[in-house]
Structures are given as structure tokens and as C-alpha cells.
Structure 1
């Protein structure tokens, strides 16, 4: 374990035991996965976890938590401790996630960067149709080119959000109402455009628990799961050990 991760874990332990475990918040924790079992050339951070670890995670989550879908009933289910599972980007290896989630009846949301469809390491149109045919999967977009939306002008953002929605809808033959911000980047224009274009549920990269008191469907809170997260770290992320990281976030209004 490197020094930076060790320090992060120590701060998490102190934060949780001194403060967080005494707040007793009830709500939904959304997890972000990316790639499963692939060696991606651009993965210097560890977004691709092994297949074995992914299965280990899913079995643990299925046994220990109630896992709910991000759908129109989501707000009505925030009076209990629940989990939701999402995948960002649309990697080809997410077909393995589909197989495992169907095997254990686990609902999930898949956000696809539509500009990469059919490219090496990414899902094809035929792959996406397999997800669309699963009753456990909700499909959403992740922008057209995975650019930081918050750094783009209004017209560029509108293109990213509109074209990605249209492209995915054309592939699956159904409305797409979900989107997640690439890199977690957005601004006031982004929020306005998601409503204008017709996205009802929007996932951010802000860390925290989604509760009845703080629910914001234009920036649902999530936490990222990475390759080095064993069951202990996974459980700590769910329990809120790392929510202290939200204290330094700047949230656009």
C-alpha cells in the first residue's frame, strides 16, 4: 500500500469513528464500477478490477444489502439502507458484468460513452442491445466523447448531451432518461441542459449518501470502486468512511 492510500485510509478511519458513525443517516449509496477483467492501456488509476474480485463483490453485496434500481420509484425507497450499482463508460468487458448480475438477479445502470461504441475495448451496438433486453439493466449516456462537460461552452455541451441521447435511443429503440457526468464535470449550463434535453435522473461523482433530505436528481451522489478495493474497503466505502472527501468538493450551482 502506497503512502497516499495509507494516509487516505487513516483519515477515513478517524472521520468515521469520531463523526460519521454517530450521524445514523438512512438512504441509498450508489457505487461506480468501470471495467472488469481487462488491461486497459489508459488505466493508470485502477478502474479495471479482476473478474474474481467483481464476483466476490457482487456475492457480498447481494448477501449483505438490498440493491435497488435507479428508476422512477427510487425516491420512495430512501427510507431504508440500500445500494445501487452503476457502470460508467461502456467497456466491452461489461458483458461479463451483465452475465454475473443476471445470474444473481442484481439490478444495475450502465452509462455509455456513445462516441466509443464499436471501438476496441468498447461495447458494439449488438452488445448494447443485449443490455437493453435485460430487465435488470437501465441504460443511460455518458456523453458523446467523454469530455469534461463543465469545461465546454453551452453549444458544445448541448451537442454532447443531445447527440449521445439520440444515438443510444436509435440503437435500443426506446427513450433514454439517464445520464452521468463524464469525469464528474458539470456546471449550471449542464444542469439546465439535462432538463431541457429530457434526462430525468443524473448521476454525479460527488461522494455521499442519497437521502430523502438531500436528494437531487440532477447530481445523485456516488462513490467509485477501484481494483484495489477488497471486501474491507468496499464495505468501508458503503458505510461512509470516505465521505470526508466530500468536504473539499466544490459543487456548482
Structure 2
């Protein structure tokens, strides 16, 4: 039923109207995590044909300067969260089509064999349940079942340093915290460490200019924004649904999530923001 619904919406022409009306004078930011190269190529080509792709840094300059000339009509930004190892396979496609992309890295997981906690023993743990726990209680529970953030496994889940350095010639690398916790579930000391240390590590070990933070899971409060400001970040990205403009709060930038789908219909509908509009009217 879900697939049928997306196909109906796709062929209805409504995504085209969304681009024409709602996205024309706004900036759309997409968030990916992990997609196959074949899917990426098709989706990136579609995006180039139907939107004007710009970099996150260009948008941040426009916000800071209030210069509308930096933002074309139907502007769209592509981002990836986590820095998963499979993202390296997308580099030839990004180079081939000259696609501006930002990847948000977990500096405590990249270049190690450490694993993402939310991908560990999925049959045993429900992520929705774990995200409701305090960070301390989550770590205690997961340690009882063999997982600690510093544990080195047999194979990596994140990009290594050589891959990151090679990709950084074509891709903007930014911050996604150290171990990817749910920040509002952390105490002040841990939240401060996660936000500050990721920036510090990426700047010191990779010589990157880090000015943007993507909140893990999109979870944040005013506390996290204040910590980010004090740490020297110029922007934060959420997964609050909607579009952006040069009037947007740079510390609460909205993103749309295609959910790493390989369905053309679902991707087009979600990229247009149509599904968010329909959910709004349904409520």
C-alpha cells in the first residue's frame, strides 16, 4: 500500500507543483546515511535536472551576508550523516557529476574498528527504546550485552583516514559528535565533550575547517545549541522537516529525509516535501 501511494503521488504531478511553488524560493536540504552507488547515480542525476545544487558552505555564506544572489531558484543541498564506510563508493559518482556534498563525521568512530551503537545487535535492542533511555542507562544496558563505544570489532563501519582525506578534495567534511549519542539524554559534561571534542579532533587530526554540526538523530535542545555556539560552530542541522531561506536560524536548519530509499516514486515525493505537507493536513 505504501508503494502504491507513493506511485500515485508521483504520477499526480504534485511533486512538480511543490518544486514550482514551495521550493522555488527556498533551500531544501536532504539527509542521507547509506545508499548504493547505482541508487545514488540515479538520484543525483534527477536532482541536477530538477534542482540547483549548492554547497552547505555557500548557503551559510548567504545567511551570514543576507546575499540572495548566492541562492538560485530551487536550491538544494545534499548531506550525509555518520561517515559510513560505504560512502566511499559514492566518490566516483560525486566526481563524475560534480555534486556538492557534505558528510558529517563521528570523530570517535571514523578511522577505527569501533561500531555505531544503533547498529549493534538490532534483534536484541530496539533503537526507539534505547533512544528513550538516558545516555548513562543506555551505555550500562548495552555493556551488559557486549557493547561499549571504545570496543574494536573485526571490521570497520566508518570511513578510515585515507578515505576521508581523499574524499575531502571533493566533499565538505563536518561534525556529527564523537560517539553519536542522543545529546538531550546526556548530562552537561558528556554533551559538551561530544560537541566540542568532535570539532577539535577533526580540525587537529585532519586540518578541516569545522563550522557545522549535525545533531545525531536530529535530537537537540537549547542547551546543545548554546554549547555549539560556545564551541565556535556557525550552524547546526536538525531533522526538523521543512525548507530553509537566508532568514532561517542557522542553528536550526531543517532537512528532508528520503530514508535512503531506492524507490524513485518515494524519493521524488519525499524530496519535494509533499509527504510532509500531506501529514500536516492529515493532522
**TM-score, normalised to structure 1's length?**
0.79
8 Å CA contact 1:33–1:86 kept in 2: the answer is yes
Give the drift of 1:80: 2.0
Cα-to-partner distance string for 1:23-70 (whole Å, 9 max, x where unaligned): 64521111111113xxxxxxxxxxxxx321111111111222210001
Change (3 A) 1:247 1:146: farther
Partner residue of 1:201? Answer: 235
Q: 2:163 aligns with which of 127, 146, 150?
A: 127
* Residue 211 of structure 2 corresponds to residue 225 of structure 1: no
Which structure: greater helix fraction? 2
Q: 1:62 aligns with which of 29, 48, 61?
A: 48
Change (3 A) 1:208 1:97: same
Change (3 A) 1:55 1:175: same
Partner residue of 1:32? Answer: 31
Partner residue of 1:87? Answer: 80
**SS of residue in 2 equivalent to 1:194:** helix
Cα-to-partner distance string for 1:74-116 (whole Å, 9 max, x where unaligned): 4333462111000100111111222211111011101001111
Give the drift of 1:6: 6.4
**SS of residue in 2 equivalent to 1:224:** coil
Change (3 A) 1:161 1:246: farther
Partner residue of 1:153? Answer: 187
Cα-to-partner distance string for 1:115-163 (whole Å, 9 max, x where unaligned): 111221211122211122x1x3211111111111111122211100111
Change (3 A) 1:210 1:170: same
Change (3 A) 1:192 1:227: closer
Partner residue of 1:46? Answer: none
Partner residue of 2:129? Answer: none
Change (3 A) 1:57 1:110: same
Give the drift of 1:184: 0.4
8 Å CA contact 1:110–1:138 kept in 2: the answer is yes
Partner residue of 2:209? Answer: 175
Give the drift of 1:12: 10
8 Å CA contact 1:35–1:94 kept in 2: the answer is yes
Give the drift of 1:168: 1.1
8 Å CA contact 1:206–1:246 kept in 2: the answer is no
Which structure: greater strand fraction? 1
8 Å CA contact 1:12–1:242 kept in 2: the answer is no
Give the drift of 1:21: 8.0
**SS of residue in 2 equivalent to 1:85:** strand
**SS of residue in 2 equivalent to 1:228:** coil
**TM-score, normalised to structure 2's length?**
0.71
Tell me, which stretches of 5 or more residues in structure 2 are unaligned?
Answer: 114-155
8 Å CA contact 1:181–1:204 kept in 2: the answer is yes
Larger radius of gyration: 2
